Amino acid sequence: MFSRLLRNLSVERLACGALICITGVAAAGAAQAQSNEVGVYSGRHYNTDKQLYQQFTAKTGIAVKLLEAKDDALIERVRNEGQNSPADVLVLVDAARLDKAADLGLFRSSPSAALMRDVPLNLRDSKGRWFGLTRRVRVAIVNPALVNPASIRSYADLAQPALKGKLCLRDRKSVYNQSLVADQLILRGDAVAKGQCGVGLVNSYYVARLLSGDSGAADRALASRLKVVFPDPAHVNISGAGVLKTARNPSAALKLIEFLASPTGGRGYAEANHEYPLKGYGDNPVLKRLGSFKADGVSAEQMGAKNQAAVRLMEANGWQ
């Protein structure tokens, strides 16, 4: 039963791996003035985002032309397109990817009083090149029939000998796990566990999505047999965005990011996908049922900077 559940939770892998291309959330006629259109490349793979882009269009009159694809593919695409890119905004999931895009020189600095106010310091780039928009927590999901949920209080507890053969983790290429290891390196200077399933690690929105019933009643029933544990303190990651250096319409791009980071826009962006807003816990009833967490305080920028060291550590410890 639990292996079936974990297979279901490999929605994390499937959803993240899927290449979805959607163009033209709002129809943007060629005749339209350029100032009325913003091109968005997004690595977020959640259908619910489109509602927020539509709200932005209704509020500002600026049409959003959207292309969704895998984060790394989008980074490559922006690099290849250069000045010819129709994109103004690049939305990516995971701090390490945002940091990588900034290192590649893809983003421009966006001085914005609204973003300074709405995005906490630890959830944005210190040079103003990218800004967090939503938060997700790396949680442990436990099968209480196999593992005592109370035995897992921290990520380090996943290394306890009693869990040998019962722990399921995604492979080394998962940027979510790389960021978790980077996070633990910063906090502990030490590795986390590897291994084979009584416990798995997933981003909070995947399990919340199953519990919400969005993926069907059968998945909800399976997920409800799990215990979700927030390690204390918890590793918090982000999705975020920046204005591209090659943007043709940087002012509309900044307006969109400001809208998505604002308390109103940001709440919708996070809630629909069962993520946490930039501040507080939000009003999503499924997330409320999971309880609250204490963020470990490691900044998104720190995690990005430690990504390479994390990958080396994972390699050195045989994390496949």
Listed ranges 14-22, 62-70, 216-224, 274-282: which one lies at the site for Fe ion (CB under 5 A): 14-22
Please give the structure tokens belonging to residue 82: 């250069």
Give me the least distance between CB of 211 and Fe ion, in Å please. Answer: 16
Contacting residues for 185 by C-beta, under 8 A, at least 6 apart = 306, 309, 310, 313
Listed ranges 16-24, 97-105, 116-124, 152-160: which one lies at the site for Fe ion (CB under 5 A): 16-24
- The number of residues that bind Fe ion (CB under 5 A) is 1
- Of 16 and 167, nearer to Fe ion (C-beta) is 16
The CA–CA distances, whole Å, from 202 to 9, 68, 170, 177, 228 equal 8, 22, 9, 9, 10
- Of 16 and 92, nearer to Fe ion (C-beta) is 16
- Of 130 and 205, nearer to Fe ion (C-beta) is 205
Is 139 one of the binding residues for Fe ion (CB under 5 A)?
no
Chain residue at closest Cβ approach to Fe ion: 16
Binding test (CB under 5 A) with Fe ion, winner from 16, 193, 223, 238: 16
- Of 75 and 253, nearer to Fe ion (C-beta) is 75
Helix (H) or strand (E) holding 63: strand 63-68
- On the 0-12 / 13-18 / 19+ scale of CB atoms within 10 A, 283 is exposed
The amino acid occupying position 92 is L
Please check whether residue 10 is in contact with residue 214, taking contact to mean a CB–CB distance below 8 angstroms: no
- Of 106 and 207, nearer to Fe ion (C-beta) is 207
- Of 16 and 89, nearer to Fe ion (C-beta) is 16
- On the 0-12 / 13-18 / 19+ scale of CB atoms within 10 A, 82 is exposed
Listed ranges 9-17, 74-82, 192-200, 301-309: which one lies at the site for Fe ion (CB under 5 A): 9-17
Task: Note the residues at the interface with Fe ion (CB under 5 A).
Answer: 16
